[in-house]
Structure 1
Amino acid sequence: MYIEFYKVNSYEYARLRKSVRKNGVVTHGKGQTLGRVLDKERLIFQNRQFGLYQYDLATGERRSAPADFCAKVERKNSREQLIVDFGNVYFIQKFIEKHGLWPVLESVGYGNPDSFKSLLSYYILENQSNAHAEDWYEGSYARIAYPKANLSSPRISDQLKEIGREDVCRRFFKAYIEYLKVNTTEAAKGAILIDSTGLPNDIRLPVTAVSNHNGEINNEVRLIYVVQRGTGLPIYMRYIPGN
């Protein structure tokens, strides 16, 4: 089994081919299309059936593209425009730099830092769904500050899944709490406030469970916050199923 690359209208595509030798004659069976080639070296393709994926020729496995992969989108008859919304993302960038927060945020260790920082800016500035993130990015200074970002919906889902892992959360909070110890005088006092709130949600998710409040039955997630008493800064947060 091997991969054959070919071009259609200047775009490169790939397909699987199988060579069979019989009576000294080599024949090639009908190829299985892999899709448009996005990264030839790392075998990253895109097609309608599987979307964006990385192919393993040895095992035949299709898996999510690496986090550091950023597809270069070329639109026909398009013009590059640099009319972007500048101030808000720039302010956030400089604020984080001034307060020395980048090492804390980068402790998350996501494979594509530009995607992580762009999504962070989007969540701080906007209250829209992830479906609008890519449009926001195209008209924002973020596309200049973080040129390798990919905020398409599938990639955002992959990113949230990755940074939501338990080990990643622990790594982040360890770095963040160390930062608070060094940079806030209130840390030495050890005074904290703990609060929790229920988030009813009937969507079937692993983090939801049946709850009971005064005889009222719901599906919900319980969100727990720990904040620094003197400053009101969040120290820790965690969600648990139910109540």
Structure 2
Amino acid sequence: MPYIVYTKRADGDYARVVESERDGKTVKQKYICSLGRVVDRTAGIFKNRKNGIFHYDIENGFTKVSSDYELPEVLKHPSNTVETEKLILDFGSSFILNEYLKRQNFYEAFLKVIPEETDTLMSCLFYRIQNSGRASLYIEDWYQGNYVRELFPKAKLSSQRLSEFMVRLGEESVQRRFFRYYLEALYGETGGRGILIDSTGVPNATKMEVTQLSNHNGEINVETRLIYAVDRNTGMPVYFRHVASNIIDVTTLRTTLAELEQYKIKIDCAIVDAGYYCEDNIEELYEGEVHFISRLAPNRKLYKQVVS
């Protein structure tokens, strides 16, 4: 039998109609329809774009609001709603961040990657830097009261527009274009120089093929491994990729070096962790005329010979 589920959000309560259905031993909620915002839970009054203000109950479904029902004043007179602040804005953090970014040689990469949606991209970037860990649900409210609104006035941050933008941002062509501009800004035609290569585990519970059991330094985790290459002189990231966590570091170095070469990043020196040390990798570095520094694991024969 259908029933109504209520959800509390920052801007009020919302409701939807669902029905329980059994899938083997598991009982799941089957979505039927959205009722929108809750106006009066006790009276069963709701509001959404499709139906306006209406009454709903499980027995009778959608019906008009009774003429005897007294609507809240804010719904009778929408003009009484609070206006968006126009003169009071949070200024300092966004101003400083904007001035800092404009002085970085990679700033143009952000402006070129999706030129028709630059304001939306930059607003999202500023929000994420200043509100680490906070949900994107609040970005529009933040934008209205922040100096970012003056910097990027054409940003489209409503829920639907933002979802569409995130899909666009995730396209492979957009990512490739960004890294092309980014690496050109960092190195021009000279290519990269010395780099540091290392990997880190990202524990997660997703059902992706790259999420696997790993044993890293004796610690067991279910995770994905991220491989990073960082410029030795500037500390700027130049490359990353993910691999399944059951792939050991020592087998990934050749692929990493080959892909860096495809991006026209020249390497004259590499600093790699002990997990990458093996004879094949050392020969690869020698053949590529890449100077290197590597930490030796204490269980290596060479380590014992040197220490003794």
State the TM bucket, normalised to the shorter chain: 0.5 to 0.7
Instruction: After TM superposition, list the pairs within 5 Å mapping 1:84-233 onto structure 2.
Output: 84-109=89-114, 111-127=116-132, 128-182=134-188, 190-204=193-207, 206=208, 208-213=210-215, 216=220, 218=222, 220-233=223-236
CA–CA distance in structure 1, aligned partners of residues 224 and 164 of structure 2: 22
Closer, same or farther: CA 195–217 of 1 in aligned 2, 3 Å = closer
Closer, same or farther: CA 110–162 of 1 in aligned 2, 3 Å = farther
Aligned length: 168
Any stretches of 5+ residues in structure 1 without a counterpart?
Answer: 1-45, 50-74
Closer, same or farther: CA 239–155 of 1 in aligned 2, 3 Å = farther
Q: Larger helix proportion, structure 1 or 2?
A: 2
Structure 1 counterpart of 2:284: none
Deviation at 1:217, TM superposition (A): 5.5
Closer, same or farther: CA 150–241 of 1 in aligned 2, 3 Å = farther
Matched letter for residue 156 of structure 2? N
Higher relative contact order (CA 8 A, sep 6+): 1
Preserved contact between residue 105 and residue 186 of structure 2 (Cα < 8 Å):
no
Q: Name the SS for the 2:187 alignment partner.
A: helix
Deviation at 1:229, TM superposition (A): 0.8
Closer, same or farther: CA 217–109 of 1 in aligned 2, 3 Å = same
Preserved contact between residue 192 and residue 231 of structure 2 (Cα < 8 Å):
no
Preserved contact between residue 201 and residue 208 of structure 1 (Cα < 8 Å):
no
Q: Name the SS for the 2:163 alignment partner.
A: helix
Larger gyration radius, structure 1 or structure 2: 2
Closer, same or farther: CA 195–47 of 1 in aligned 2, 3 Å = farther
Structure 2 counterpart of 1:79: 83
CA–CA distance in structure 1, aligned partners of residues 115 and 99 of structure 2: 21
Instruction: After TM superposition, list the pairs within 5 Å mapping 1:16-35 onto structure 2.
Output: none
Describe the superposition over 1:11-70 as per-residue Cα deviations: whole angstroms up to 9, x where unpaired.
xxxxxxxxxxxxxxxxxxxxxxxxxxxxxxxxxxx9469xxxxxxxxxxxxxxxxxxxxx
Q: Which moved more, 1:130-139 or 1:93-102?
A: 93-102
RMSD over aligned Cα, in angstroms?
Answer: 2.9
When the two structures are superposed, what TM-score results if normalisation uses the length of structure 2? 0.47
What is the percent sequence identity of the aligned residues? 35
